[in-house]
Amino acid sequence: MKSLRVCSSCQAELPAEWPQTLCPKCLQARTLVATEPLPRDTTGAFVPPHPDALRGLFPQLEILGLLGAGGMGAVYRARQRGLDRVVALKILPPTFSGDPAFAERFAREARTLARLNHPNIVDVYDLGQTGQLYYFLMEFVDGVSLRQMLQAHRLTPQETLAIVPQICEALEYAHGEGIIHRDIKPENILLDQKGRVKIADFGVSKLLGAAAQAVQLTQPNHVLGTLHYMAPEQFENPLTVDHRADLYSLGVVFYEMLTGELPLGRFALPSQKAAVDGRLDELVLRTLEKDPKRRCQQASEVRTQVEAIAGVATKLSPEVSRKLSFEYRSKTTLFGWPLVHVATGVDPVTGRKRTAKGIIAMGNSPRGVIAFGDVAVGVIACGIFGYGLVSLSVVAVGVVALGSLAVGMLLAMGGVAVAPVAVGGAVFGYYANGALAWGKHPLAPGLSDPLAEKFFNPWALRVTGWVFRACLFVTPLFLALGFLPALMAKLAERRRKRRFRQTGALS
């Protein structure tokens, strides 16, 4: 019985009596790639070959598809047959194969790149030349690029401050090894399924530098790099830049992540474009200094400052972050403010308490027309500390203040009351009525001022008594409303834990 013969490239069954180890299709593809020039469009730009055309050159790989292409080459998703491992295959434009000095430079620089071993840098498994093509065989990152993330949604400050330190760690390591990226941009920053950053194409710009310089001599408007992300010195003398050029590019990416825009012309500060910590303004501006001497000098400097600004909160797990905070914002708005905004706990980005701002605001630090919370500011403010036109709080400050300690510009009622008109237990005022009264015209047991008696006539005394008794009932109610957001957050956390026990996953 004859043994089954298969193609060494695609594993397809070979025709009977076929003398070659490659099937007719793979043999034709190999001949096409090896003997004919790779396709170009009418402008002379590099057109990535079809995956079928590469199978003959890379028999050890199963080419699964094209991931992307650009001026520096094309990247394909592939599988190593022997190791059953998914990898990324990057091929360089065939124009470089015609440069006699490129082969030596490729061997020298590529060996350096292959030595880079860092969790935030894409690993290089293999490199070399086959046919007309120089290639890199690299780690495949199952995720998305930062560019895809920016196109999909606006990054939150928390996401940005989690990504930037990882970029800095990769740059810090590579710069320590004497390697400059020269093309930091969202397309070269990848994130895997667990949110870990992986930077691709480290040092490739330098590797291709001489060939790109030759192109620049014939095309004055062509400069190595990506225009809007390049440091100014890359325009003036691209072959003599140092590691600080990467820090400028990082600053551009940083600004774009925070604001969704590029820092072009007279750009606004990040805090003016988005709700971010104002301390980030100075850091971003330092990375974008045109003079390299005034720029941040090391990636570690940027990383340290970002981590200091973000605080411990950026390192908290999502479950802990949920325990520390809760937020609800109604879709209905009035005068640009949400009708209801509830915000409690710690903002994971800044490490500070969240602030609720709305027509009805509830939380630790509410600001609104009606505000309930720990420290409430509003037209009507209710909470532990209240500041407003009408304040009903434990410690109340306002035009009309009612609370345990009440300070009013007009009227104060409480255990201790201070105001022009003060009513309560121990009171201080121009007109004072209480168990203990001090002022210009006091009225108290055993103490009667004629003007005070006239001011606090029997009708006024009855009304004052009703209001005071109402305050004894209403103030605890408003205090309870002040603590309601924290209670809502606690109940939500309990529901999540119950769902976790039932389904095995936190929502």
Question: Which residues are annotated as catalytic?
Answer: 183
Dist CA 112 CA 336 (whole Å): 56
User: Among residues 450, 402, 164, which one has the least CA distance to residue 303?
Assistant: 164
Give φ, ψ of 418 to 5 degrees.
-130, 120
Q: Return the amino acid letter for 128.
A: G
Cβ of 499: how many Cβ atoms within 10 Å?
13
Dist CA 282 CA 268 (whole Å): 12
Residues 6+ apart with CB under 8 A from 296: 244, 247, 251, 283, 286, 287, 302
Residue 118, CA atoms < 13 Å, CB-side half-sphere:
21
User: What are 392's strand-pairing partners?
Assistant: 382, 402
Dist CA 91 CA 33 (whole Å): 13
Give φ, ψ of 70 to 5 degrees.
-165, -165
Tokens representing 72?
A: 């520096």
Asked if residue 286 lies in contact with residue 296, where contact means CB atoms within 8 angstroms, the answer is yes
Residues 6+ apart with CB under 8 A from 93: 46, 71, 72, 73
Asked if residue 425 lies in contact with residue 412, where contact means CB atoms within 8 angstroms, the answer is no
By three-state DSSP, how is residue 55 classified? coil
Asked if residue 342 lies in contact with residue 356, where contact means CB atoms within 8 angstroms, the answer is yes
Query: What is the radius of gyration, based on Cα positions, of the chain?
Result: 35
Strand arrangement, sheet containing 325-329: 325-329, 340-345, 355-363, 365-418, 421-444, 447-448
